[in-house]
Structure 1
Amino acid sequence: MPIQQLPDTLINQIAAGEVVERPASVVKELVENALDAGAGRIDIDLEEGGVRLVRVRDDGGGMAADDLPLAVSRHATSKIASLDDLESVATLGFRGEALPSIASVSRFLIATRRDGDAHGAALGVDGGRVGQVAPKQQPVGTVVEVRDLFYNVPARRKFLRAERTELGHIEEWLRALALARPDVELRVTHNGKPSRRYRALSESGAGLFTDERLAGTLGEEFARQALRIEHAGAGLRLHGWVAQPGYSRASADQQYVYVNGRAVRDRSIAHAVRQAFADVLYHGRQPAYVLFLELDPTRVDVNVHPAKHEVRFRDSRLVHDFVYRTVQGALAATRAGTAPASPGVGASMSPADPAQRQAGGIEDARARSAMGAMAPGATHQVPMRLQVDEARAAYAALYAGDPGRPALPREDAGAGVPPLGFAIAQLHGIYILSEAADGLIVVDMHAAHERIGYERLKTAHDSEGLRAQPLLVPQAVAVSEREADVAEQEAGTLAELGFELSRGGPQSLLLRSVPALLAQGDIEALLRDVLADLRERGESLRVRSARDALLSTMACHGAVRANRRLGIPEMNALLRQMEATERSGQCNHGRPTWAHFPLPEIDRWFLRGR
């Protein structure tokens, strides 16, 4: 067949294959156009999951009647005019492909009116055949109707799923949009019935965002468990929310990333967040987060995917490191007793102020010598008689006055009580029971002590740095030529990780020193993994991860074991150490270390007040 120019209709249908995957793609393109037009309210009407009808109405600026034919022409846009505009584009849409592509595979109608125009104008397109512009009564703004999607491309239509499935894809995209644009009201109807409504929140009501918009999109539990992120540096700003590790998911269904307001999927950012959660998340679980990254538009390329789902950073290594350290810092700042730990686990307690941290200081001082015996490896047993005496003393303090009758509650009963309260008993040699200001705290003593020991080991090792251990005889490591090139280019980075090496040939390296703490492991496999990370992302955290895994094992073996009887001072000392230790809400394997039962909840167990 000779080379020939394709007709416009076929060109548009080919483009539609890239831009229009399903009804959700149509909703995305039309709503993004409405946002770029300055809409404050967007109404979305759907029929049959969007296959029969997608109608998007906005109150934006509208268009001139003469612009309608251009709006359905390929590569016609008001958003860029030069290469400089493309490199710094800040609008959601800019390609000029969406409307002609959608119109080529549907029965399409667009009507618009600007403020000040006597009337609106409308233009219809049927399967790519463009009609004539006609006057039309129309409020200020634009409405676009897309009927019978893929009616003229049956091969594409048969790949659409059931109505409920297609509607679910639309709702998920709108959920992501609602998180990014709390200033815009979104109303959705399906088959004539109201389906979703996201009320607009003003700037003055920004404080309501976490409670209302987060709860309305991701659920009240996410909002309750969310940690606020806000950090800027190196020309980057990251803000949003990450859920506490205890609020983890079986899948990555609550992971939202936005770059300059655009929802994207980015492997580098996703990897950075997973690394930040590495030793606080239970195996196989996924973190939940809503993160907004802002940077100079010239430092990110948004023109790398037809549907604009992906971006490319000029300095992906910097972005990865910035996200990792920001999220890791937020998680490190959490401590047992200061925030929720998981659904039904952990307390909505405020971080202890200096006075609260000082409270119990006398008892903490008395307990230090007792707690010192709980250092990793300690095996002594507290005599049962001493345990009983300490318990009696604790109960006597709780029930001052008549030992057979509890003291009446005082208004200042919670004053001076530390976040995890004061220990009152040990249960089955496994759990510590503690009375907090507003209820009962239960602590898994082995899991808690394991985290405390682990964080101490990490701190001690970090102060020394990653020491290198020289090899008596250089070890030859077979690698690919690309890996050898990376090793040469990143020799300085590898040296900081404890690897001293040189190139022994096109596909070999000579290894002269290795990280001392990991010298007994599979160094060759670790080196190859590090080189793969350096090639793909420009940095590697594998050495640190392998080191942390070893330190975690050491801490686990050194932690206090089940059935170890502790005295009241020892239990209180452990509680105080938890309050002062980073990430103490989870053990090294991601399991929760403590649970909180508020007094009203306990009252409900026994039907008190009914």
Structure 2
Amino acid sequence: MSSVIHVLDEKTANKIAAGEVVERPASAIKEMIENALDAGATAIETEIADGGQTYMRVSDNGCGMSPEDAKKCIIRHGTSKISTIEDIFAISSLGFRGEAVPSIAAVSNLVITTRMEGDEFAYRLTLTGGDITGEEQTGAAVGTTMEVSDLFFNTPARKKFMKSERTETSKINDILTKLALARPDVAFTLINNGRTSVHTGGNGNALDAVAAVYGAAVAKEVFPVSYSNDEITVEGFVGKPSLLKSTRAWQTCIVNNRIIHNAVVFKAVENAYHAMLPKAGYPFALLHIHIDPAVIDINVHPAKTEIKFSDEQQVYRAIYHSIITSLTEREKPEQVATPIDLTSRQITKAELNAPAVTPSAFAFSEAGRAGVKETVPARNDLSHEYRPLQHDTRTPYRPDPAVRDCAAGNAFSAFMEERDAARPVQTITFDGDEDVFIPLGVVADCFIVAKKGQDLYLIDQHAAHERIRYDKLCKRTEALPSQQLLTAEFVEVDGRDMELFAERAHVFADLGYTYSEAGPTTLRIEAIPADLPVGDISESLQEICRILHESPMTDKAVLRHRSLAYLSCRGAVKAGDVLNMREIRELLEELFHTETPYVCPHGRPVIVRFTPDELAKLFKRT
């Protein structure tokens, strides 16, 4: 009986192995840059075309290779990093398997040009599908240049899984920027289709690297972290709780100069920020961890991004305490808190006397402050909009002397005076009960106290207004009404989010956003959902992107619900906003005209009821 088991030829084996190391162009770029760093390079230039699918080049000023070593580096498991199995437990280099260059060569056309210090000429080696097709002497600076063209030309099954040029470029950009953050002492340059898109100075200052990668505005919002004991050292930067992203794109963990992904690290970051985040999202974190190589295992996957720690609890505690210490040692709360813009223009008498207006038309509305043009038709009844004035959370609003002739002291009260004169005041009833629902006051500028019959009620004013706004938005057309911006707003987004904006523009259009691309990572916002404050544009878009990243196949109805819930929250009365009794009565009247007044769109309770028996138990009278 003949044997059915046979040994694969070297070329086939190399192509199969290449699939583990080179998943996409970004994988090849990562491997080539890591080799350049291991060679001692202080400047690395990367050039790509068509997302790296047709051309990639990585040039460095490292030590270079001799012609003999250049030929050995294309042989699988040919490496200068280790010699024996024991060396794996003390690895300080980024590469050590000797698989990267052979894997890249096996699935592309590769040209290696290299020269060592002291050599008169550089050596150029040309390969096609892993086979040497040419070698020659040439002129070149000290260092190594690797040029890759037609990636996966001989493995069409792999090539068909490549994404769009934008997606592949974004992946390369992510890899290169994280490597730049890991090595601020090295100058990195990325040239995309002839344009320089990334450049870092390489001066060794980590904060300068953050500014070069994410912008000066982000660099101003981060704090240094530092922790050290005999076994582990943690250093780097973390951001304010308000500095959030819809993905983990702004979270980078580096262990002994190697970029890694580890669930324990991410969990430590999330738990350190627990209860500090104003909304869902991922905070900024750049962490450099220095630890004995003997207590980690990087030989988990050929890509070398996964890592195992012998003592995960030690790593968790170090990261957790370093972040907690950084966030809590700020001298003033405002160093961590999100700044609030309290500026607004004054109301003119012409605006106060204008006929047939709604509260959203007054100067104190977010639309008025932002200078936007409403495209939603105005209506004369208050059911169109309920929007008490926004102001400081502790200091009650005081009208300007120029408008003190307004009977109630503010524009909202003036509007209500006019409305009440035109129609009788309605009696608020509850569940059809004829007992009058009577507001008694407010506790902590947040909880409305009221009674109906013998029962006592507490109503969360923010949750109540959320429910009102949500119900009104739900009754509108399928596509949310939008408001055209008089002046376009520009929003910076990361590469992954930009993919969503390009590929799912119809989704954002249904939610009220109109935009165009103004750059590789810049959106020009032309229209936004009605009543969305301009200052919340970036945050609202991040929230939608976060939902889509979490579940790319999110049902349209679910996405609409979560977007409406977000918009309802952003435009609602906040805890700390001072409401007068007239505004409280109007809020309660509108609340009990909603379908489900007991719960807000996020599922939190709006109303808490205390019966006489429950109150008696609280006072131990039963």
Scaled by the length of structure 1, the TM-score of the pair is 0.56
Instruction: Please list, as runs of the form range in 1=range in 2, the aligned pairs for 1:193-592 lying within 5 A after superposition.
Output: 193-202=195-204, 206=205, 209-210=206-207, 212-334=208-330, 336-342=332-338, 430-432=393-395
The structure-2 alpha-carbon separation of the partners of 1:5 and 1:428, relative to structure 1 and needing over 3 Å to count, comes to closer
Q: What is the Cα deviation at residue 175 of structure 1?
A: 1.0
Q: Do the aligned residues in 2 keep the contact of 1:247 with 1:341 (CA within 8 Å)? A: no
Could you say what secondary structure the match of 1:75 adopts?
coil
2:93 aligned residue: 91
Per-residue deviation, residues 529-562 of structure 1 (Å, max 9, x unmatched): xxxxxxxxxxxxxxxxxxxxxxxxxxxxxxx976
CA apart distance, 1:120: 1.5
Instruction: State the shift of 1:116 in Å.
Output: 0.6
SS at match of 1:253: helix
Q: Deviations over 1:550-596 (max 9, x none)?
A: xxxxxxxxxx976599xxxxxxxxxxxxxxxxxxxxxxx9xxxxxxx
Alpha-carbon distance in structure 2 between the residues aligned to 1:30 and 1:14:
19
Deviations 1:379-401 (A, max 9, x none): xxxxxxxxxxxxxxxxxxxxxxx
- Residue 104 of structure 2, aligned match among 94, 97, 102: 102
Distance 1:445 1:288 in 2: 33
Please tell me the residue identity of whatever aligns with 1:294. H
Q: 1:120 aligns with which of 111, 118, 122?
A: 122
Percent of residue pairs bearing the same amino acid type: 36
Q: Check if 1:79 corresponds to 2:81.
A: yes
Residues 125, 433 of structure 1: CA spacing in aligned structure 2 closer, same or farther, 3 A cutoff?
Answer: farther
CA apart distance, 1:63: 0.7
Contact 2:396 2:578 in 1 (8 A): no
Are residues 24 and 333 of structure 1, via their aligned partners in 2, closer, same or farther at CA, if it must alter by over 3 Å?
same
Q: Distance in 2 between matches of 1:297 and 1:345?
A: 49
Write the distance in 2 (CA, Å) between the matches of 1:116 and 1:243: 47
Provide the residue aligned with 1:367 in structure 2: none
How many Å separate the matches in 2 of 1:304 and 1:16? 16
Distance 1:194 1:285, change over 3 A: closer
Kindly report structure 1 stretches of 4+ aligned residues shifted beyond 6 Å: 426-429, 444-447
| Residue 253 (structure 1) shift | 1.9
Deviation at 1:342, TM superposition (A): 2.6
The match for 1:192 is 194
Query: How far off its partner does 1:80 sit?
Result: 0.5
Match of 1:169 among 168, 171, 176: 171
Structure 1 equivalent of residue 365 of structure 2 = none
SS of corresponding position for 2:337: strand
Q: How far did residue 11 of structure 1 move?
A: 1.2
Counterpart amino acid of residue 36 in structure 1:
D
CA, structure 1 residues 433+169, in 2 after alignment: closer, same or farther (shift >3 Å)?
A: farther
The match for 2:29 is 27
The one of 40, 49, 52 aligned to 1:50: 52
Q: How far is the alpha carbon of 1:6 from its aligned partner?
A: 1.1
Amino acid at match of 2:325: G
SS in 2 for 1:151: coil
- Contact residue 150 and residue 157 of structure 1 kept, 8 A: yes
Cα deviation 1:330-382 (Å, max 9, x = unaligned): 22223644515236579xxxxxxxxxxxxxxxxxxxxxxxxxxxxxxxxxxxx
Query: Residue 428 of structure 1: CA displacement?
Result: 7.3
- What one-letter code is carried by the residue in structure 2 that aligns with 1:100? P
- List gaps (5 residues or longer) in structure 1: 347-425, 435-443, 448-559, 566-588, 590-610
User: In the alignment, is the contact (CA less than 8 A) between 2:241 and 2:336 conserved in 1?
Assistant: no
Deviation of residue 68 (structure 1)?
1.7
Q: Is the 8 A contact 2:198 2:213 kept in 1?
A: no
Q: Is the 8 A contact 1:57 1:142 kept in 2?
A: yes
Q: Is the 8 A contact 1:221 1:343 kept in 2?
A: no
Q: Secondary structure at the match of 2:146?
A: strand
Instruction: Identify if the C-alpha distance between structure 1 residues 19 and 429 changes in structure 2 by more than 3 Å, giving closer, same or farther.
Output: closer
Change (3 A) 1:433 1:109: farther
The alpha-carbon distance between structure 1 residues 431 and 48, as it changes in their structure 2 partners (threshold 3 A), is same
Which letter does structure 2 place at the counterpart of 1:251? T
User: Per chain length, whose mean CA-contact separation is higher, i.e. which structure has more relative contact order (CA < 8 Å, sep 6+)?
Assistant: 1
Deviation at 1:445, TM superposition (A): 7.4
Q: 1:123 to 1:317 in 2, by over 3 A?
A: same
Question: For residues 331 and 6 of structure 1, do their structure 2 counterparts lie closer, same or farther at Cα, with a shift above 3 Å needed?
Answer: same
C-alpha distance after superposition, 1:436-466 (max 9, x if no partner): xxxxxxxx9779xxxxxxxxxxxxxxxxxxx
Q: Which amino acid aligns with 1:29?
A: E
Letter matched to residue 313 of structure 1: F
TM-fit CA distance, 1:429: 9.1
Distance, in Å, in 1 between the alignment partners of 2:137 and 2:151 is: 25
Say if 1:143 and 1:563 are closer, same or farther in 2 by CA, change over 3 A: closer
One-letter identity of the residue aligned with 1:194? T
CA RMSD of aligned residues (A): 2.7
C-alpha change, 1:427 and 1:165, in structure 2 (3 Å) is closer
CA distance in 2, matches of 1:343, 1:215: 20
Q: Which moved more, 1:126-135 or 1:298-307?
A: 126-135
1:231 and 1:326 in contact (8 A); partners too: yes
